[in-house]
Homo-oligomer: A and B are copies of this chain.
Amino acid sequence: MNEEMKLFFDEVLVLLEEKKYIQLRELFTEAKAADLAELIEEVAEEYPNNTTIIFRLLPKDLAADVFSYLSPTQKRNIVDTLHENQLRNIVEELNFDDKIDFLEEMPANVVKRILKRVTDDERKLINQFLNYPEFSAGSLMTIEYVSLKKEMTVAEALQHIRMNGIDKETIYTCYVLNETRKLEGIISLRKLILADDHLKVAEIMDVDVISTTTLDDQEEVADLFKKYDLMSLPVVDREDRLVGIITIDDIVDVIEQENTEDFEKMAALLPSEEEYMNTGIFLLARRRIVWLLVLMISATFTENIIGRFEDVLSAVVILAAAIPMLMDTAGNAGNQTSTLIIRGIALGEIELDDYLKVLWKEFRISILVGIMLASVNFVRMLLISNASLAIAITVSLTLALTVIMAKLFGGMLPILAKRMKLDPAIMAGPLITTIVDAMALVVYFNIAGIILGLY
């Protein structure tokens, strides 16, 4: 909460305490829906019984708006306290895409309660939208758009927008459809406003339309918005008929969602859309245990390797002292590279045929970085750790070689994953570290054996 929200929060609490509901209602009427939603979330944390009172004090049209900003958890809590009529009012006032989101988040019994109350036509439409797969373009779109005909003049089109625009998600881009609802072009309100009244829509509309289809992945949809600086995007079916539109406000959420998913995958977590604070510990534990187990069991290799070199280690026990430093540095070096590559792929800066360029680049960088780290380490071991010359050389040489290996693997594996149609984000720090660790140990003991004359 920022300062302003804190003042608002405190004011509301005082008025609630004093049961001054008329003043509260006035205060709410002037507030922004997003702020009221934040208020309800905060109140829910500290005074859960007051959320319903606040919600019921909201004017009807504002209530739906506030509701659409709430977290799924809060939506469920409030729905449980609403009467049938109140629930119907809220649902009626919701934008179509918010309505679909809401139904997707609710348990089956609530969905049933709501669908009982709508007309047959709307139920059919809602069911169609509920059937679009999660994370698809279809699941993001709304049907509340303005459609025009290409025979209209600019003046007629503006008149049409004035008559029909009130409950549309956007009126800034209008869609030109023929009798079979085939998308023939788009035209922005800007172009209409700035054009001569007598021109025909057909003369000034944009016919080279960027569009998507219902089953396209939301990440690809977001990429289109980013590349072409779009405000909205039409969604068409196989016959090029318009089935809905996607607006930029939903895309901003998609971008953050996709980023969160990458952050989570890169940290060896199973992704989830639930907010951390609202998720139970069993669910959170389950998202973590899978990869931890896989990686732990993979580490059996490193155990075997050390076991195999037990003789070397027994002869010079102090060799063990450098193992954590070698593993961590190799892991960090690999993680740096794989993060840059994963991010570059996600942003479209690195393409699959950049494979060799990336490897060549990482090879040269890793030599620079490897030599520098090895030199500093060499001096450090001699001066600070009082290590013998042979041990210092062994460790430093291993360090340089493992950094090079780590960076090559870090550069290679994400691109390889992408080529195999896997998400590059899984080839991040944790997995790279495990792979590189095993190799680092083999290198280490072999170099030690040679330099220390143990073979």
Chain A contacts to B: CB under 8 angstroms: 1, 30, 32, 34, 38, 158, 161-162, 165-166, 171-172, 189-190, 193-194, 208, 210, 225-229, 231, 248-249, 251-253, 255-256, 259-260, 262-264, 266-269, 275-277, 281-282, 284-285, 288-289, 291-293, 295-297, 299-300, 302-304, 306-307, 310, 313-314, 317-318, 320-325, 327-329, 331-333, 335-336, 338-344, 347, 349-351, 354, 357, 361, 364-365, 368-369, 372-373, 376-377, 380, 384-385, 399, 403, 429-430, 433-434, 437, 441
* Secondary structure call for the A interface: helix
> Do A376 and B267 contact each other (CB < 8 Å), given the known contacts A275-B349, A299-B329, A349-B275?
no
Q: Using known A-B contacts A252-B252, A325-B303, determine if residue A189 contacts B194 with beta carbons closer than 8 Å.
A: no
Q: Decide if B351 touches A1 in the complex (CB within 8 Å).
A: yes
Q: How far is the CA of A341 from the CA of B369 in the complex (A)?
A: 31
Q: How far is the CB of A32 from chain B (nearest CB, A)?
A: 6
Residues of B within 8 A of A171 (CB): 190, 193
A347 surroundings in chain B (CB, below 8 A): 256, 260
Please indicate which of the listed interface residues A30, A318, A403 has the most CB atoms of chain B within 10 Å of its own CB: A318
| A68 to B: closest C-beta gap in Å | 10
- The reply to whether B34 and A292 contact each other, CB–CB distance below 8 Å, is no
List the B residue with the shortest CB-CB distance to A342. B263
Contact check, A369 vs B288: say whether CB atoms are below 8 A apart: yes
User: Which 4 pairs of residues, A with B, have the shortest CB-CB distance?
Assistant: A299-B325, A267-B339, A306-B321, A302-B324
